[in-house]
Amino acid sequence: MPGASDGQPAAAVELEDWQKKVIDIKATPIPADGNLTPEKWRELFIKGEKQGGLLLRPAPEFRSSAKGFDKAFFEKLRVTHKTRQKVVKRRGAAEGIMQIEMRNDKRTFKAKRFMDMADGPTPFPITSTFNPETEKNVWNLFTSGKCGYRYYADNLDKTMFDGIDK
């Protein structure tokens, strides 16, 4: 990528509007020291929904656990039932950079798989389909030590991730 190896700052690279909508927070295993508390997840869910939706997907080092996570997330938790998601890979974009659009939909939506993505398959939508019981189940799954996640949002408010990756 231009500027990546010649010492130019990232700000010198001109981004298209759709690229500015994507925030890529570093891949992070769920920490065992309690940094990601249930309260932090609640805050993340609420902010993510208010600001346009939030996506989670396995980090590359956790690829081996992705299949089991898919099954638990989509078959047991039913998170995608009221969510429709559209992920568009733009021509010329860096690998893994996508425009993400989400909207509520009453129809059941079957989750799409993106097996060729460098950092793991299947984006996971987090939206208003969450309830306290689902959140508890997801929290238990996240803290099982078997999966790690990368966070994406379709807005530019990085403050919604404060403390999450520290």
| pLDDT tens, residue by residue, 14-34 | 544 433 433 333 333 444 444
- Is the full-model pTM beyond 0.75? no
| Amino acid sitting at position 164 | I
Report CA-CA distances (Å) from 85 to 34, 37, 53, 58: 31, 27, 10, 17
Q: What span, in angstroms and rounded, lies between the C-alpha atoms of 30 and 28?
A: 6
pLDDT tens, 87-144?
Answer: 333 444 333 333 233 333 333 223 333 223 333 333 344 433 445 555 555 555 555 5
Report CA-CA distances (Å) from 104 to 36, 73, 85, 111, 130: 27, 18, 9, 14, 13
Average pLDDT, the chain: 41
Q: How many percent of the chain have pLDDT more than 90?
A: 0
Domains in the chain: boundaries: 14-155
Task: Find tokens 């508390």 and name the residue.
Answer: 37
- Would the pLDDT of 41 be above 50? yes
| Residue 28, pLDDT score | 38
